[in-house]
Amino acid sequence: MADDRLLDTSNVALERELIRAAAEEGPPPSVRRRGLAALGLLAVATPAAAAPAALAAAGAGKTPGAAGLLGWNLLFKWGMVAAMFGGAAVGGAVAFEGAIANSPPNEPTPVVHRASDPEGPGHQSQATPGESGPTRVQAEEDRAEALAAPPGHSPATAAPATRPPRGTSGASSIREEIDLIDRARANLASGAPDRALAVLRDYSARHPRGELREEAAVVRIEALRAKGDERAASAAVRRFERRFPASAHQDRVLDGGTR
Amino acid sequence: MLFQWRHEDPAASTPVRGAQHALRLRRIFDDTHDLAWRLLRRFGVPPERVEDAVQQVFLITAERLDDILPGSERAFVYGVVLGVSRSIVRRGWREVLGDDSDLRSAGPTEAEALLDRKRLVEECDRILDRLAPELREVFVLHEIEGLSSAEVARLVGIPQGTVSSRLRRARQLFRTEVEALGAVNTSTEVHGG
């Protein structure tokens, strides 16, 4: 058989067009994001410069470089987010239907959990008109917009590994972020939304490019609602929708009805 | 934690290994996701089942990651897609729904172009639906995805001569359907206005 394809050799235009259309069809970006989320891979970056070396090391079983360790930190982060946000952020374990092959009995195999982060870790500023005044809000929003990736961009290009390094090491920084979000949630749970908002302002100041900005934004919306500041909450919800259009937290955020 | 280990093995279940695992899986996903989606569609998996099927493909890939030789990731995904699609189609799923979400979000001119494209894809799939599964697989892999006959033979697990004969037959049937479709369109244009 010659390896010529009808796409190149057919003298029937309709035949070529049918094959071309089928060959060029692709899934909507949302399908890809959901697939990454189901595998818990949204936070795992493969930047063009770092990925080949890290992956070569992975494939060859060598010690990974910084990219690999960062990938673990991010996995750790989303695991902690899962613990904090429960069902809203993380679904149950994804069922594996071994239609093709089963893993060897002694092979340690990963149980993949769903993760939330359709656009990568968040881009949300923490200030609102009700708290800080319009000037600061606009400045922070502008900064957040500048940091935020455009709609429809590749998650890989927006993933945290491509961001400039922060002052603290990845693991300790993430731990601190988690601590702050935990404290905010604890304050909120104990009926102290003002204290929760203060902690979140602290979070925003300490981690302007934090990995957990999306989660901080969710807690903040809940705190504003708990405080009874519906106007600020509505504004925060609109910003959230704009910056995290495919967020797994959307239902949770919108449940409050303060759009 | 995103990854738990079913069989505790201190040497293997370290954070470092988890990171390597995730990075490699992400790379494979980035490289083959759209391909897997398209192949599942062309192999006859109904639209409403394709997303689940794609996830199944990558869950299997994740499970078997350690068994995949570096450099053969794409071939592995091809094979899993074949198996998943056969499994689904064999269970008798039928295409019953269309997805017009891309059309709803497009402007008028863009929507017309998308509609034309969408109709072409639908016609192609309709023709493929009429091919026997073994002919369809070979035709899709070679004519639509551009694999060589040798690659198709390795992937499907048949001799290259069989690939050639199946492809020849599939081309004949495809052409017959295309000509019928062209005749219908020409007839519609002439008689319908």
pLDDT in tens, B130-160: 999 999 999 999 999 999 999 999 999 999 9
Q: Say whether B2 and A113 touch across the interface (CB within 8 A).
A: yes
Question: What is the count of structural domains for chain A?
Answer: 1
pLDDT at residue A76 above 70? Answer: no
Q: Say whether B60 and A60 touch across the interface (CB within 8 A).
A: no
Where do we find the tokens 């502008």?
A142
What percent of chain B stands above pLDDT 70?
Answer: 73
Residue of B nearest to A28 (CA): B102
pLDDT for B39-59, tens place per residue?
999 999 988 889 999 999 999
Distances (CA, A) of A259 to A124, A134, A217, A255: 17, 19, 15, 9
C-alpha dihedral (A97, A100, A103, A104), degrees to nearest 10 = 140
Give me the mean pLDDT over the A7-30 stretch.
Answer: 90
pLDDT for A204-229, tens place per residue?
888 877 777 878 888 899 899 898 98
A186 touches chain B (CB under 8 A): no
Which amino acid, B170? A
Taking contacts as CB-CB distances below 8 angstroms, the residues of chain A near B179 are 12
ipTM, two decimals, is 0.74
Q: Is B97 exposed, middle or buried (0-12, 13-18, 19+ CB in 10 A)?
A: exposed
For chain B, the residue count is 193
Q: Say whether B171 and A21 touch across the interface (CB within 8 A).
A: no
pLDDT band at A107 (very low <50, low <70, confident <90, very high): very low
3-state secondary structure A8-74: HHCCCHHHHHHHHHHHHCCCCHHHHHHHHHHHCCCCCCCCCCCHHHHHHHHHHCCCCCHHHHHHHHH
Distance CA(B185)–CA(B62), nearest Å, equals 46
How much is the CA Rg of chain B, to the nearest whole Å?
20
Region at A207 (left for phi over 0; alpha for psi -120 to 50; beta for the rest): beta
State how beta strands A110-112 and B3-5 pair. Answer: antiparallel
What percent of chain A stands above pLDDT 70?
Answer: 43
Q: Say whether A96 and B60 touch across the interface (CB within 8 A).
A: yes
CB A81 within 8 A of CB A116: yes
Nearest to A25 by CA among B129, B37, B5, B65: B37
CB A122 within 8 A of CB A213: yes
DSSP three-state, residue B97: coil
Q: Name which residue leads in pLDDT, B174 or A54.
A: B174
Give the model's pLDDT for residue A79.
Answer: 47
**Is the alpha carbon torsion for A9, A13, A18, A22 positive or negative?**
positive
Taking contacts as CB-CB distances below 8 angstroms, the residues of chain A near B83 are 99-100
Which amino acid, A128? T
Residue A10 domain-assigned (yes or no): no
Comparing A2-16, A59-73, A186-200, B43-57, the range with the smallest average pLDDT is A59-73
Q: Rounded mean pLDDT of chain A?
A: 61
Nearest to A187 by CA among A206, A208, A202: A202
pLDDT at residue B38 above 80? Answer: yes
Per DSSP (E only), the strands in chain A are 110-112
- Structure-block tokens of residue B46: 């109904």
Q: Say whether A108 and B6 touch across the interface (CB within 8 A).
A: yes
CB B80 within 8 A of CB B61: yes
Residue A13 domain-assigned (yes or no): no
pLDDT band at B169 (very low <50, low <70, confident <90, very high): very high
Give the model's pLDDT for residue B184.
Answer: 61
Give the model's pLDDT for residue B134.
Answer: 92
Residue A94 domain-assigned (yes or no): no
pLDDT at residue A165 above 50? Answer: no
What are the sequence ranges of the domains in chain B?
A: 11-98
Distance CA(A153)–CA(A161), nearest Å, equals 16
pLDDT for B84-134, tens place per residue?
998 888 765 444 334 444 444 555 555 555 568 888 999 999 999 999 999
The DSSP bridge partners found for residue A111 are B4
Q: Rounded mean pLDDT of chain B?
A: 79
The DSSP bridge partners found for residue B132 are none
Q: Which CATH architecture has domain B11-98?
A: Orthogonal Bundle (1.10)
Distance CA(B133)–CA(B129), nearest Å, equals 8
Nearest to B85 by CA among B123, B42, B31, B32: B42
Highest mean pLDDT among A82-86, A126-130, B38-42, B66-70 belongs to B38-42
Which domain, by its residues, includes A124?
A: 30-88+115-259
